Amino acid sequence: MLIISVHGVVAALGMRPSPIEAGFKVIDANGQGVAYVYGHADKRDAETANGLTLDEARRIASNIAKLKHC
């Protein structure tokens, strides 16, 4: 089994994004949360706060889940 590190947390491959309120949580194969990505439902709110939209947060969480090594 390959081991990777995401933001200092060691996780097994097989990660997946899971929706949470106001964003997405990346969960490893053991059910441990390894990354949280938050976004705004309204694009204007995201622009005002200089943050992400929910779609951008989803795409980032999906890309984190696809990492094979760091």
pLDDT at residue 13, as a whole number: 61
Has residue 22 been placed in a domain? yes
Range of the domain at 37: 3-65
**What is the DSSP secondary-structure string of 14-28?**
--EEEEETTEEEEE-
- Rounded CA-CA distance 62/42 in Å is 20
Whether 39 is in a domain gets the answer yes
Domain annotation covers residue 70: no
Q: Confirm if 34 and 9 have CB atoms less than 8 A apart.
A: yes
Percentage of residues in the chain having pLDDT higher than 90: 70
Q: Work out the pLDDT band at 42, boundaries 50, 70, 90.
A: very high
Q: How many CB atoms lie within 10 A of CB 38?
A: 15
- CA dist 50 and 70 (Å) reads 27
What does the angle CA 17 – CA 34 – CA 42 come to, to the nearest 5 degrees? 50
Does residue 44 lie in a domain region?
Answer: yes
Banded pLDDT at 69 (limits 50, 70, 90): low
Task: Tell me the whole-structure pTM to 2 decimals.
Answer: 0.76
Q: How many domains does the chain have?
A: 1
